[in-house]
Amino acid sequence: MNEQERINALTAPLMAWYDLNQRALPWRGVGDPYRVWVSEIMLQQTRVQAVLGYYARFMAELPDVYALAQVSGERLNKLWEGLGYYSRARNLKRAAQVLVNEYGGEFPRTREELMRLPGVGDYTASAIASIAFGEVEPAVDGNLLRVAARVGGIAEDIMDAKVRRRFREMLAESIDRSRPGEWNQAMMDLGATVCLPNGAPLCEKCPARAFCAAYRNGMTDLLPLRAPKKARRVEERTVFLLLQNGKVALRKRPAKGLLAGLWELPNVPGSLDEAGAAITLAQWGLRAVSLAPVGAAKHIFTHVEWDMHGYLAEVEGENDEFFRADAAALQAAAIPSAFRYYYDMARQALAAQQGGCDNGTALL
């Protein structure tokens, strides 16, 4: 068999396997494009287990495109808090507004039209079109690429756009034309539960075992092939927990770029010693009544890593750039998980200032 024939050979046993082994997920089985869309956007770069709670809360509060089109940016960020890649949430709302204003609240039914919506790329459009509307389109994500590379025995760099296009064509030929949406979900499930990444597939449970090239040739460790990633840029940052009159200072991030428009604890580039931290406070028009280091934390984004260390300072003075949040406002603000370590510390510091004992549930 050649590569294409092996991939084609998977379709029938895959569908039989899926009928018995499919994962029960809350967005499945209803054919509702809104549910498919929201779940697929949440699942980008995020594990299913991490998404389930977010998805349930999101659907309870924003059950359709009309509710999503009208939600405030602040509330949307709060519902997304901790999921990361916040531009996904902003694009969801923008796309919902387009659906309401230009499509009468209905989803377009083809991959091509769906791809005109903000934040909807080839994968998401194909998933919605196939699952909700039965269009015959493979939704090519990392799972499908991995399964196809292994079954077909294709040792080509899946990070290369040309190679991915070739995979897409091969998968488009092999898709089950009578059940395209379920075929996509079957491939996703096989990749997520059996043909696992990082050289650890469970081949003895796999419907492709009899003809999978990687299994037969002992190449499951080598496939799929990926060109090495560029090293992440490391940025040092100094984070400030600024306390004043029972409140902690927050600042809005710029409208563009990393974590755009979200609240943050004030921070500056570089790793400042105490003298440098005091100078920064002075530049902000603040004076430290007390200043103490509060430890280091790290956060890894896709292309950059923040190595942070922080200072807790009681301050005097005014700075219009900062919003001073009491415990309730701190709880309501959507603060990215990059700041989680310092955010928790800020909660505890506020509780201690108010003479309370924060047991972890008093404010959250």
* Residues at the site binding ligand SF4, with contacts judged by CB under 6 A: 147, 150-151, 194-195, 201, 203, 206, 208-209, 212, 214-215, 220
Task: Please say which residue, 92 or 149, places its beta carbon nearer to ligand SF4.
Answer: 149
Torsion of CA 184, 188, 191, 192, to 10 degrees: -170
Specify the residue, 195 or 315, whose C-beta has the smaller distance to ligand SF4.
195
Q: Are 66 and 60 in contact (CB under 8 A)?
A: no
CB of 21 to ligand SF4, least distance (A): 13
Q: What is the DSSP letter of 118?
A: T
Toward ligand SF4, which CB reaches closer, 150 or 309? 150
Name the residue type at position 166.
R
Q: How far apart are CA 128 and CA 137, in angstroms?
A: 10
Q: What are phi and psi of 200, to 5 degrees?
A: -125, 45
Torsion of CA 154, 160, 161, 165, to 10 degrees: 0
Q: How far is residue 322's CA from residue 263's CA, in Å, rounded to a whole number?
A: 10
What is the residue whose two structure tokens read 């570089």?
Answer: 270
Nearer of residues 130 and 220 to ligand SF4, judged by Cβ = 220
Q: How far is the CB of 196 from ligand SF4 (least distance, A)?
A: 8
Residues in a beta bridge with 310: 239
**Which CB sits closer to ligand SF4, 81 or 141?**
141
Q: Which two tokens stand for residue 211?
A: 């003809």
Nearest distance in Å: CB 190, ligand SF4:
7
Work out how close the CB of 215 gets to ligand SF4 at its nearest, in angstroms, rounded to a whole number.
Answer: 4
Nearer to ligand SF4, 209 or 253 (CB): 209
Least gap, CB of 207 to ligand SF4 (angstroms): 7
Residue among 3, 5, 40, 74 flagged as catalytic: 40
Kindly report the number of other CB atoms within 10 A of residue 44's CB atom. Answer: 16
Give yes or no for a contact between 114 and 128, defined as CB atoms under 8 angstroms apart. Answer: yes
Active site annotation includes 235: no
User: How many CB atoms are located within 10 Å of the residue 31 CB?
Assistant: 12
Phi/psi at 289 (5° precision): -80, -35
CB of 219 to ligand SF4, least distance (A): 8
* Residue positions annotated with a catalytic role: 40
